């Protein structure tokens, strides 16, 4: 996982998107078609020493909102049910889990989160935001459920550029 270092302009964009200063960002892992960051790669250990298993973090407020609607509509339960009955899907999801772990390990090995990916992988579906972030960062064909989420939310960036949308300040 070779990615360019994060620059001040990207940090400003991500801060605007999240409504807060991001933590542990090491790179922009994907950009939406308008050029704004929409996924960041995050260090597996934050500056304060906290282990952080979520390597790929969705920052675009419009994508996050679209994914939230899918979560609210019960898509996670439907996907998890399919995982229990579709061996091919389950194998692809397990491979996505392994890919995620390898990407995080390339950043830093953190014993406390070894073997733990994100989003419920490899057996559950508990965060579509993470699955979409992984699918965007890794590209098509790596995370089958993330690819499904991507197909359902695209084109979240229309009808205007993401930089014209400002997030509400985050709580906490």
Q: For residue 142, is it within any domain? A: yes
Q: For residue 35, is it within any domain? A: yes
Cα separation of 85 and 63, whole Å?
A: 29
Domain encompassing residue 137: 8-156
Cα separation of 48 and 23, whole Å?
A: 10
Question: What are the tens digits of pLDDT across the range 50-92?
Answer: 999 999 999 999 999 999 999 999 999 999 999 999 999 999 9
- 102: DSSP letter: H
The answer to whether residues 112 and 69 touch, using CB atoms and an 8 Å cutoff, is no
Q: For residue 168, is it within any domain? A: no
37-42 and 56-58 beta bridge pairing: antiparallel
Question: What are the tens digits of pLDDT across the range 15-41?
Answer: 999 999 999 999 999 999 888 999 999
Percentage of the chain modeled with pLDDT above 70: 90
Q: How many residues does the chain have?
A: 172
More confident residue, 46 or 157: 46
Name the residue among 12, 23, 6 with its Cα closest to residue 163: 12
Tally of CB atoms within 10 A around 8: 7
Q: For residue 94, is it within any domain? A: yes
Confidence grade of residue 158 (pLDDT, cut at 50, 70, 90): confident
Report the predicted TM-score, pTM, of the whole model to 2 decimal places: 0.90
Confidence grade of residue 168 (pLDDT, cut at 50, 70, 90): low
Dig out the tokens for 112 from the structure: 């406390």
- Across 15-145, where does the E strand assignment appear? 25-31, 37-42, 56-58
Looking at residue 40, what is its pLDDT? 97
Does the pLDDT of residue 163 top 80, yes or no?
Answer: no
Domains in the chain, number: 1
Cα separation of 30 and 6, whole Å?
A: 12
């Amino acid at each position: 996982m070779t990615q360019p270092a994060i620059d001040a302009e990207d940090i400003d964009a991500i801060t605007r998107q999240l409504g807060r200063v991001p933590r542990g960002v090491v790179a922009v892992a994907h950009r939406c078609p308008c050029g704004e960051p929409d996924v960041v790669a995050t260090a597996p250990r934050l500056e304060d020493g906290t282990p952080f298993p979520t390597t790929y973090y969705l920052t675009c407020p419009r994508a996050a909102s679209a994914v939230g609607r899918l979560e609210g509509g019960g898509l996670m339960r439907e996907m998890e049910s399919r995982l229990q009955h579709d061996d091919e899907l389950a194998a692809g999801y397990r491979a996505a889990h392994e890919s995620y772990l390898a990407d995080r390990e390339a950043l830093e090995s953190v014993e406390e989160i070894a073997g733990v990916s994100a989003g419920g992988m490899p057996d559950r579906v508990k965060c579509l935001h993470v699955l979409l972030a992984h699918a965007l960062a890794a590209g098509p064909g790596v995370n089958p459920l993330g690819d499904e989420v991507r197909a359902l939310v695209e084109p979240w960036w229309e009808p205007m550029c993401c930089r014209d949308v400002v997030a509400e300040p985050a709580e906490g």
